[in-house]
Structure 1
Amino acid sequence: MNLVNKYVVFYDGDCGFCNFWVGWILKNDKKDQFLFSALQSEFGQKFLSERNLELKNLSTLYLFSPGKFYLKKSAAVLKIATLLGGKYSLMEVFKIIPAFFSDKVYDLIAKNRQKIASAKCYLPTQDERKKFIQNN
């Protein structure tokens, strides 16, 4: 799979809350710029391992642009909104909030995400499934 000019969203594949947001990004990705990988997948575990990141704690969202950067937690969320553009880019105003505070809010939501999640999972369409990375 060609990752050039793409952003990879790494998420907890066993979390209904995370799956909801992956579906939301898919629906709003009008520029076809995002790919997705569960942190539990071979590709996700390799990403974490290569950066000496925690392999078992899957409560952190990562946004990766090959050869450029990776962001995590609230910084990743804000960057995704900015990249989606349009009305979502207005979330960029939240960058004025210090990262330690916005990450605390992120951690609180992540800690309770299983309780927040609905029992329904988003099922991607056939075309959307092409955006999911399983293995290399």
Structure 2
Amino acid sequence: MSDSPTIILFDGVCNLCNGFVQFVLEHDAGGQFRFAALQSGAGQGLLREYGLPAPTEPDSVVLLADGRAYTHSAAALGILARLSGRWATLARVGRWFPRPLRDAVYRLIARNRYRWFGRQESCWLPTPALKARFL
């Protein structure tokens, strides 16, 4: 697993999650990340491969990197840390806060994300130019 690419699993029908994927695509100049919706066959297979439950209602972005799976605030900060510039700095600052506190805030947002940001009827589809970065 350690030779595998850095993968972000996201809720494919969540507008907030899709916006985060767009943000990462925009700031990932080196093209290091690959993406898969948690609801997709690829996403479900990766969850099984890493021993993570396949929730009926996704509640976290998942970062698969360096042979490990990161969830909740650790995933979000791990993604930011792999981006250049101020995003890596923001991740370092975020890690100053205790993980239970970070995860509590993350879970509050996750519980309310559909109400606050909306959801789509189906998973977002990448443009032909970005399709190679999606599993």
Q: TM range, normalised to the smaller chain?
A: 0.7 to 0.9
CA RMSD of aligned residues (A): 2.2
Q: Which moved more, 1:87-96 or 1:121-130?
A: 121-130
Indicate the residue corresponding to 2:113 in structure 1: 113
Q: Is the 8 A contact 1:5 1:33 kept in 2?
A: no
Structure 2 residue matching 1:126: 3-state secondary structure = coil
Indicate the residue corresponding to 1:9 in structure 2: 8
For residues 99 and 43 of structure 1, what CA distance do their matches in structure 2 show?
A: 29
1:76 aligns to 2:78 (yes or no): no
C-alpha offsets along residues 40-90 of structure 1, whole Å, 9 cap, x if unaligned? 11111112223442212311110002x521111101111111101211111
What pairs with 1:77-92 in structure 2 (closer than 5 Å)? Answer: 77-91=76-90, 92=92
Q: Which moved more, 1:49-58 or 1:104-113?
A: 49-58
Letter in 1 for 2:89: L
1:127 aligns to 2:112 (yes or no): no
Letter in 2 for 1:127: A
Structure 1 residue matching 2:95: 3-state secondary structure = helix
Letter in 1 for 2:24: I
Aligned residues: 130
> Percent identity at matched positions?
33
For residues 125 and 43 of structure 2, what CA distance do their matches in structure 1 show?
A: 20
Q: Is the 8 A contact 2:12 2:39 kept in 1?
A: yes
Q: Which moved more, 1:121-130 or 1:27-36?
A: 121-130
Q: Is the 8 A contact 1:10 1:38 kept in 2?
A: yes
**TM-score, normalized by length of structure 2?**
0.85
Q: Is the 8 A contact 1:9 1:37 kept in 2?
A: yes
Stretches of structure 2 that go unaligned for 5 or more consecutive residues are none
**TM-score, normalized by length of structure 1?**
0.84
Q: Is the 8 A contact 1:20 1:122 kept in 2?
A: no
Indicate the residue corresponding to 1:94 in structure 2: 94
Q: Is the 8 A contact 1:23 1:122 kept in 2?
A: no
Structure 1 residue matching 2:133: 3-state secondary structure = coil
Q: CA deviation at 1:35?
A: 0.5
Letter in 2 for 1:94: G
